Structure 1
Amino acid sequence: MKKPLATLGQRILAWIVDLIIIGIIAGILGGLAFGSIFLGALTANPFAAVFGVTTLLVMFIVIFGYTIYFEGTRQGQTVGKMVMKIRVVDDKTRKYITMEQSVIRNILRIIDNQVIGLVGVILIAVTEKKQRLGDILAKTVVVKA
């Protein structure tokens, strides 16, 4: 039996939870990075500058890797999706998605998040299976867990 599709509201609330988590992590790493770069510039300490740049790179990996990792390895659920009791599944099999599907659907957030996320929201609201562009091309749907 197919599980019902997640509502737009559930998806938005899950994304807000995830953004809070990503924001906290990015804030900590960003503070470390810029503090180290600034300290390195003030003291001419190359180690501090290298540490700062490395931390900045880690921050970007965390930001872009968070949803890819969780959806691809954690049964289609980020922390936000766990809280909202929804998950991403393969559109045909309704089983957990592959890492490849996770990468495709999350890279396309670049398009879905245009105009403060309205592109994705509009697509979810008007498509039969409540899919944003990333879901359509990755062949995934978001369902109630």
Structure 2
Amino acid sequence: MKSLKTKPNTGKRFFAGLIDYTIIYGFTFMLIFGLGTRDEYGTYSLNGFPALIPIALWLVLTVILEITLGATLGNSLVGIMPIPSTGHQRKLTFIESLKRHLLDPLDMFPLSIIGIITINNTLNNQRVGDIWAKTIVVSEKHFIENPI
């Protein structure tokens, strides 16, 4: 297999994350205000089963979409997709995708600075989640030009 050259694509990756997490946070806030209970200070909270819904939504919109379709909604809209760092053109496994996304909060804090720095300063343009999961992000165009 020939060596795969990655590109930082920081702009595309930033907007993909923005799309994905805008959907996740937007739905979560609507859920909190719709199903949550309000206390004497005016704050809302979810308790019991409804508190699990935002976690399930996150899992579906990040990990499940990535392992079934090959990319999250945001990644698909900007034309990028994660693959194993070996360069094999296949969808990620559940564990690979879960590892990538468990570190999203670290990569996105503060204002995605950590993710941008690691993407621009690692050999394969990986963020911290990609390094841990042993994944890289490539253009969907790469898959079209080099089918599986």
TM-score, structure 2 normalization: 0.76
Task: Identify the residue that residue 66 of structure 2 maps to in structure 1.
Answer: 71
Task: Identify the residue that residue 31 of structure 1 maps to in structure 2.
Answer: 33
Higher helix share: 1
Task: Identify the residue that residue 50 of structure 2 maps to in structure 1.
Answer: 55
- Structure 1 segments of 4+ aligned residues over 3 angstroms from their partners: 1-6
Please give the per-residue CA displacement for 1:108-144, whole angstroms capped at 9, x wherever unaligned: 2233233232111110011121101111121111110
State the structure with more CA Rg: 1
Q: Report the number of matched residues.
A: 132
SS of the equivalent of 2:90 reads coil
Unpaired stretches in structure 1, ≥5 consecutive residues: 42-50
Task: Identify the residue that residue 12 of structure 1 maps to in structure 2.
Answer: 14
Using the TM superposition, give the Cα deviation of residue 52 of structure 1 relative to its aligned residue in structure 2, in angstroms: 5.3
Spell out the pairing of 1:116-127 with structure 2 (5 A cutoff): 116-127=111-122
Residue number among 83, 92, 102 corresponding to 1:89 in the alignment? 83
SS of the equivalent of 1:143 reads strand
The separation in 1 between residues aligned to 2:35 and 2:55, in whole angstroms, is: 11
Alignment check: 8 A CA contact 1:89 1:143 kept? yes
Alignment check: 8 A CA contact 1:71 1:102 kept? yes
Using the TM superposition, give the Cα deviation of residue 100 of structure 1 relative to its aligned residue in structure 2, in angstroms: 0.9
Distance 1:32 1:56, change over 3 A: farther
The answer to whether the aligner puts 1:138 opposite 2:133 as a matched pair is: yes
Letter in 1 for 2:135: T
Alignment check: 8 A CA contact 1:33 1:56 kept? no
SS of the equivalent of 2:136 reads strand
